[in-house]
Amino acid sequence: MSQALSSALGTAPSSLGYFKIRVNSLIPDRSTTFDTYIMINSRMVLYLRAGDALAAGKIAHLERADVFYVPDAQRSHFKRYVFDRMNEEGLDVKVKANVLRESSITLAEEIFEKQDVEEALNDSRELITNFIDFMEEEPTAMSYLVGLSSHDFYTYNHSLDVAIYSLGLGQILGYSGDDITELGRGALFHDIGKRHVKTEIICKQGPLDDTEWVQMQKHPQYGLKILNEYGVSEAMKACCFEHHESFLGNGYPQQLPGDEIHPMARIIAITDTYDALTTKRSYNEPMSPQAAVDFMCSKLAAKYDPDMLKALRQILGRMKAA
Ligand SMILES: [Fe+2]
Ligand SMILES: [Fe+2]
């Protein structure tokens, strides 16, 4: 249950005072620098004390998506742990990519549960910068990151994956500095307008009917309305407002022709679809990365900027090479 929902119901979540980390944020047999708890019957039970290590054998028995809880007071210790792993000489790039992505999923979840959008926007900067730093540091980082897609569809997983893929495309297309940061943040918040679409529609198990679809298609406008209240860049607003435009000029909400769509929104149009095709939803089986790219480059090609679609193929090539 989200904290917002818990407080609306007048119940305090028993995880209050703790933040979640995914099991796979931890490297087996490596000592932690923070206390780790598990929740049993709504009560926090100490699982690992700071300084102890999670045995590889035990990790194997835990589900990949299982979570531990760490006291809020030790948040800086956890951040330091991730930072140290990212900068550890000799640690495999694939392991680093996994630690960064796994630790960012719960962070993205927190960002999306925040009622205070300003705080969420601020927090997103650090999250995106961590990925950019890693990609700049390790030439093969992007290939591994892109290969670690989520298997289930949740708004925060989807948003994080779209951000990671967009950073990958952005890197190939030559984005750098503030531009690539804004691209990553814009991608992370591209669906923020879904906050104003009814949860029953967002979570519906199956295709939407016409009325629901009309509501859903309003999320770019809702998103723009939210972002307009904060001092965000025009690029970030375009990522949100224009990511469902189509290069053919028949997208929504403005039916912009290809060259009038903001380049960052053109990138997100591609990464958003790629993620939807490769992620499992209740009503469809996910496509493999190769099948999704083939499908987008044949059946859907006219919807996207052709140069950017080429860049997506390049990412796939690098992923395979990795
Ligand atoms: Fe969207
Ligand atoms: Fe999306």
Residues 70 and 114 in one domain: no
- Report CA(73)–ligand 1 centroid distance (Å): 35
Amino acid 14: pLDDT:
61
- Report CA(81)–ligand 2 centroid distance (Å): 31
- Report CA(190)–ligand 1 centroid distance (Å): 6
- Report CA(123)–ligand 2 centroid distance (Å): 20
Query: CA angle 95-79-155, nearest 5°?
Result: 75
The CATH number for 195's domain is: 1.10.3210.10
- Report CA(223)–ligand 1 centroid distance (Å): 9
Q: How many domains does the chain have?
A: 2
Residues 281 and 135 in one domain: yes
Stretches where the chain sits below pLDDT 70 are 1-14, 63-65, 150-153, 282-283
What is the chain's percent helix, strand, coil content, to nearest 5? 60, 10, 30
Among candidate residues 81, 100, 127, the one where a domain is terminated: 81
Amino acid 1: pLDDT:
39
Q: Which ligand is nearest to the CA of 240?
A: 1
Give Dmax (Cα) for the chain.
57
Among candidate residues 81, 115, 137, the one where a domain is terminated: 81
Q: Which ligand is nearest to the CA of 218?
A: 1
Residues 36 and 133 in one domain: no
- Report CA(68)–ligand 2 centroid distance (Å): 28
Q: Quick check: helix, strand or coil at residue 90?
A: coil
Residues 226 and 262 in one domain: yes
Amino acid 237: pLDDT:
98
Q: Which ligand is nearest to the CA of 252?
A: 1
What is the tens place of the pLDDT at every residue in 61-92?
776 668 899 999 999 999 999 999 999 999 99
Range of the domain at 19: 1-81
Q: Which ligand is nearest to the CA of 166?
A: 2
Residues 215 and 96 in one domain: yes
- Report CA(219)–ligand 1 centroid distance (Å): 7
Q: Which ligand is nearest to the CA of 158?
A: 2
Q: Which ligand is nearest to the CA of 187?
A: 2
- Report CA(64)–ligand 2 centroid distance (Å): 24
Distance, in Å, from the CA atom of 117 to the CA atom of 123, rounded to the nearest integer, reads 10
Residue 273 near residue 300, CB atoms below 8 Å: yes
Beta bridge pairs of residue 39: 44
- Report CA(164)–ligand 2 centroid distance (Å): 13
Residues 76 and 101 in one domain: no
Amino acid 258: pLDDT:
95
Amino acid 151: pLDDT:
62
Residues 146 and 50 in one domain: no
Amino acid 65: pLDDT:
62
pTM of the model: 0.90
Among candidate residues 53, 81, 109, the one where a domain is terminated: 81
Residues 146 and 1 in one domain: no
- The edge-to-edge listing of strands for the beta sheet with 36-40 is 18-22, 67-71, 36-40, 43-48
Q: Which ligand is nearest to the CA of 165?
A: 2
Residue 271 near residue 162, CB atoms below 8 Å: yes
Residue 198 dihedral angles phi and psi, to the nearest 5°: -55, 140
Residue 87 falls within a domain, yes or no?
no
- Report CA(243)–ligand 1 centroid distance (Å): 6
Residues 23 and 99 in one domain: no
| Helices (H) then strands (E): counts for the chain | 15, 4
Residues 53 and 123 in one domain: no
